[in-house]
Chains A and B, each alone.
Chain A
Amino acid sequence: MNIIITIAVTALVVLYAGLFKAKKALLPLTLIGLLVALGFAVCSWNNPTTYYSMMRMDNFALAFSAISIIGTFFIFLLTKNYFAEGSDNVAEYFTLILFALCGITIMVSYQNMSMLFIGLEIMSVSLYILAGIRKLNFASNEASLKYFLMGAFSTGFLLFGIALIYGATGSFDIAVIQQYLIDNVKSVSPLFYPGVILVMIGLCFKVGAAPFHFWTPDVYEGSPSLITAFMSTVVKTAGFAAFLRLFAGAFEPLHDFWTPALMVIVIITLCVGNITALYQKNFKRMLAYSSISHAGYLLFSLVVLTTNSASNVLVYAAAYTFASIIAFAVLILVKQKTGSDSIDSFNGLGKRNPLAAFTLTIAMLSLAGIPLTAGFIGKYVMFLNVMETYQTALVVIAILNALVGFYYYFKVIIAMWFKEGSEVELEVPLQYKIVLVFSVIVTFFLGVYPDLILNLI
């Protein structure tokens, strides 16, 4: 609980700091707030507490809160000069991201479906505004409107599903729902089944799984890059944590019912994400489609539920988050210099700035899943998970998709190192350097010694 309070208070303090034109203080205040929240998360480790059966801060919730906070921390480090351009309301950015983080913390720790809804809405409403925060920019406006309409639509599905489940079980509490399913596994109310499917659809919208992914590319492309980075890393991770809490927890007894539906979603998501990414010339759009495909790999953990499912998602999400942060950080730098975010604008980056090019190479290798990077361990545990029930066909599809993935991730590497581009030097500010280097270290560390995080939950 103290995590949520800390983040919410920080958000308000930052908002007031903005009111009194203390622009310099915004970033330090935010970072300190996040560090305190992270400290609380670490301190409450192995010490689960429940708040009026609404939220439960167990290790699962703490681990996902922690990784969300760390991800947000990194993204804030990248804000240097980023928001200041073309806007005087810098404080709003900070506050809204913090509010979204607040919602995320609720989403990963809910014990009651009403809290899931509240958390999701707190996060989503902040994101609707953030997507459109460049109010004079067409793409940004379009992104915001699209995101809002689609988001509202999906929330409708989710709510409808929750209502049906409430109708069947008489409770929003996920422990009660689970008990209901265990007690009546043969005679589950017919209301329950459409309820599960609708909730699944609602959540698939949020994590951007196909065929509910249509908003993703446009929203990701139109939003300011930093917001896209936030959406595709922290928000996505939170969505999966929420997914997992419900489906690996409460709905687990009905596993046989919803797995086939999910399996179809996984296969479509993998194929659509990867094959469409192959044709992208725009780096940001390519990342958007690749994020769809990663949603597919992440859903593997739900296809076969084991005791390791949660930690597998955590490993994958961590790998994906750090690699994406590098990708977006370099994208922001390149875009500031060249004014374009097409893959061609990365041509010759290896000469213009070896550090940025090297870190982006590692990020791409990690996203592609090359051994010794975190991304490989993430993919490996997912494959292992599915192989445990010998669903070889699914793994073969995933492998074929991973091969497609190599093509488009290597397109970026090829552009940076093997193609000639403009010779303009690219400077990397200190804060970016810190983020890049630290992310690369984490990527290697998790790739070589993942025991640390595999044991966590």
Chain B
Amino acid sequence: MELLILIFLPLAGAIVTSFIKGGAAKISALGFALLSLCVTIGLLAQFTPDATTQFAVNYPWIQQLGINFHAGIDGISMITVILTNVLVPLIILSTFKHEYKNAGIFYALILFMQSGLLLVFTALDGFLFYIGWEAALIPIYFICAIWGGKDRIKVNMKFFVYTIAGSLFMLLGIIYLYLQNPAKNFDINAFYALNLDSYQQGWIFWAFFIAFAIKMPIFPFHTWQPDTYTEAPAPGTMLLSGIMLKMGIYGVIRWLLPIVPQGVNDWICVAMILSVIGIVYASLIAFTQKDAKRLVAYSSIGHVGLIAAGIFTLNTQGMQGVMVQMLSHGINVVGLFFVLDIISSRLKTNKIDELGGLAKVAPQLAIVFLIIVLGTVALPGTNGFIGEFLLLYSVYDYNAWLGAIAGLTIIFGAVYMLRMYQKVMLGTTNDLTITFTDIKGTEKVVLYTICVLIVAMGVYPKPILNLSEASVQHLLEQVNQKLTGVN
């Protein structure tokens, strides 16, 4: 029951907000987002960090087609739910300085998307998962295509068709699993219990993997991403990079590994190499970017590549690293994009060469931006460190060469992020940047919150690790059991 409130509260908020005109819309949206956060905290208080699925709901929905409204939360879902419900209020708050046309619709779409995301992260029914998957896509398409930049129509069409192509093949995979299931339903546990041969598993692996790889995005399915991030309005970019790409990661963990472990096992090499290629490729391109927003977009591909590589190591450290890094990456990237949005909304540019010396005119921004950048480059003591350490360790464990390549690239990543910081914030001011004013009001609230989260998670990550540990171990046991059972 609590779970239904969690999922549908943002939807109710979306309906209410869509009728509100003008400035009151953002207040309403923020109210609903904070209310969702409160519900999440309530759930967290009742949550016992073991491997069980909690707050489960299971209602028949479309009986004729064997579809149930079956959802629940375990440790893995909890992480993503927290991520969503912490970031959405921050993202909404970050828009307070902007006046969007048709604000009611704008905020309604954000809340609608939040509902879709929560559905994805809690669904235990294949069909429901698919519905949530698409329900999160439609609003972000409209957010980016209505309020985006100059090229928004073309870029977003590409994004939309790309992602929906992936998801339609995933739907095909889901239908296939449904037909294999003797009980003729979409229950995830029934899917886990299926006995598919390795040929079938290989096909299903690709049907799902492509959908998830496009969403994350993993090389070579990433071509939509930099353009879409650049053209989207700032909150759209934050939603895409902060939360939406975690749908792909979550999908791999929940719907790929346990259902087709043999398929994963057969193709793990390819997935791993693609992930590592993604890290290297994205970092190299990021190095040459002149636009800060594009730079962050590419760096995000690199970070996600590492997360994906961590999943496919199939060991507890790697998986725990994924959990922490999902949260950290979400928080950090939202921070980065918000800082860049502040800069571009004041100076109308994100070109690295045109900026410089902002630290002199905006000392507060300089500090918070530094903390966020350090979190992104994984300095010990920040949230990025713990996740990246676990990930690199497990990738190295899987294959020393891949580990070395990935590790070096991440260090390389530190170089371009710091260089970007240096060129934007340090140095001398020019005619343009002298006019810059420091952060204030809601901007401060958002950025300070993010900084506190970065430091807190970096210093004391134990609660988060505890939250997901049992579920992660349980999941990996399941996978290993099935693997040894088949062989």
Closest to B141 in A: A410
Take A372-B131, A372-B135, A387-B176 as given contacts and tell me if A403 and B62 are in contact as well, using a CB distance cutoff of 8 Å: no
Contacts of A403 in B (CB 8 A): 161, 164-165, 168
Interface of B, helix, strand, loop or mixed by DSSP? helix
**A370-390: which have CB < 8 Å to B?**
370-372, 380-381, 383-384, 387-388, 390
B106 to chain A, nearest CB (A): 12
Contacts of B131 in A (CB 8 A): 371-372
Contacts of B160 in A (CB 8 A): 406, 410
Closest to B164 in A: A406
Q: Are A384 and B175 in contact (CB under 8 A)?
A: yes
Interface residues on chain A, size class: 20 to 34
Contacts of B65 in A (CB 8 A): 380-381, 384, 450, 454
Choose from A380, A387, A414, A455 the contact partner of B145 (Cβ within 8 Å). Answer: A414
Closest to A396 in B: B172
**B172-209: which have CB < 8 Å to A?**
172, 175-176, 178-179
B-contact 0/1 string along A361-377, CB 8 Å cutoff: 00001000011100000
Q: Is the CB of A180 closer than 8 A to any CB of chain B?
A: no
Choose from A372, A399, A410 the contact partner of B172 (Cβ within 8 Å). Answer: A399
Contacts of A449 in B (CB 8 A): 61-62
Provide the bound-state CA to CA distance between A395 and B169, in Å.
Answer: 10
Q: Are A395 and B157 in contact (CB under 8 A)?
A: no
Q: Are B62 and A450 in contact (CB under 8 A)?
A: yes
Contacts of A392 in B (CB 8 A): 172, 176
Contacts of B62 in A (CB 8 A): 449-451, 454
Q: Is the CB of B153 closer than 8 A to any CB of chain A?
A: yes
Q: Is the CB of A407 closer than 8 A to any CB of chain B?
A: yes
Q: Is the CB of B439 closer than 8 A to any CB of chain A?
A: no
A353 to chain B, nearest CB (A): 14
B-contact 0/1 string along A314-349, CB 8 Å cutoff: 000000000000000000000000000000000000
Q: Are B157 and A407 in contact (CB under 8 A)?
A: yes
Closest to B169 in A: A399
Provide the bound-state CA to CA distance between A451 and B61, in Å.
Answer: 8
Q: Is the CB of A82 closer than 8 A to any CB of chain B?
A: no
B-contact 0/1 string along A77-111, CB 8 Å cutoff: 00000000000000000000000000000000000
Q: Is the CB of B134 closer than 8 A to any CB of chain A?
A: yes
Provide the bound-state CA to CA distance between A111 and B15, in Å.
Answer: 49
Q: Are A387 and B175 in contact (CB under 8 A)?
A: yes
Q: Is the CB of B418 closer than 8 A to any CB of chain A?
A: no
Choose from A372, A384, A396, A418 the contact partner of B152 (Cβ within 8 Å). Answer: A418
Q: Is the CB of A417 closer than 8 A to any CB of chain B?
A: yes
Q: Are A454 and B172 in contact (CB under 8 A)?
A: no
Q: Is the CB of A402 closer than 8 A to any CB of chain B?
A: yes
A-contact 0/1 string along B113-155, CB 8 Å cutoff: 0000000000000000011001100100010011000001100
Q: Is the CB of B484 closer than 8 A to any CB of chain A?
A: no
B-contact 0/1 string along A148-171, CB 8 Å cutoff: 000000000000000000000000
Q: Are A455 and B157 in contact (CB under 8 A)?
A: no
Q: Is the CB of B288 closer than 8 A to any CB of chain A?
A: no
Closest to B154 in A: A414
Q: Considering residues B65, B135, B157, B168, which has the most beta carbons from chain A within 10 angstroms of its beta carbon?
A: B168
Q: Are A418 and B179 in contact (CB under 8 A)?
A: no
Q: Is the CB of B64 closer than 8 A to any CB of chain A?
A: yes
Q: Is the CB of B487 closer than 8 A to any CB of chain A?
A: no
Q: Are A388 and B179 in contact (CB under 8 A)?
A: yes
Provide the bound-state CA to CA distance between A281 and B142, in Å.
Answer: 23
Closest to B63 in A: A451
Closest to B175 in A: A387
Provide the bound-state CA to CA distance between A365 and B145, in Å.
Answer: 16
Provide the bound-state CA to CA distance between A406 and B161, in Å.
Answer: 7
Contacts of A395 in B (CB 8 A): 172
Provide the bound-state CA to CA distance between A410 and B160, in Å.
Answer: 10
Provide the bound-state CA to CA distance between A414 and B145, in Å.
Answer: 8
Contacts of A410 in B (CB 8 A): 157, 160
B-contact 0/1 string along A395-420, CB 8 Å cutoff: 11001001100110010001001100
A443 to chain B, nearest CB (A): 14
Q: Are B153 and A414 in contact (CB under 8 A)?
A: yes
Closest to B132 in A: A371
Contacts of B130 in A (CB 8 A): 371
Contacts of B175 in A (CB 8 A): 383-384, 387
Q: Considering residues B65, B130, B146, which has the most beta carbons from chain A within 10 angstroms of its beta carbon?
A: B65
Provide the bound-state CA to CA distance between A380 and B127, in Å.
Answer: 11
Provide the bound-state CA to CA distance between A194 and B116, in Å.
Answer: 52
Contacts of A387 in B (CB 8 A): 172, 175-176, 179
Contacts of A372 in B (CB 8 A): 131, 134-135
Provide the bound-state CA to CA distance between A399 and B169, in Å.
Answer: 8
Take A387-B179, A388-B179, A454-B62 as given contacts and tell me if A417 and B157 are in contact as well, using a CB distance cutoff of 8 Å: no
- 8 A-B Cβ contacts within 8 A? A383-B175, A384-B178, A384-B179, A399-B165, A403-B168, A417-B142, A418-B145, A449-B61
Which A-B residue pairs are the 7 nearest by beta carbons? A454-B64, A371-B134, A399-B168, A387-B175, A371-B131, A451-B62, A403-B165
Chain B positions within 8 Å of A, measured between CB atoms, are: 61-65, 130-131, 134-135, 138, 142, 145-146, 152-153, 157, 160-161, 164-165, 168-169, 171-172, 175-176, 178-179
Sample of 5 more A-B contacts, CB < 8 Å, known A372-B134, A406-B160, A407-B157: A370-B134, A372-B131, A383-B175, A410-B160, A418-B153
Chain A positions within 8 Å of B, measured between CB atoms, are: 365, 370-372, 380-381, 383-384, 387-388, 390, 392, 395-396, 399, 402-403, 406-407, 410, 414, 417-418, 449-451, 454-455
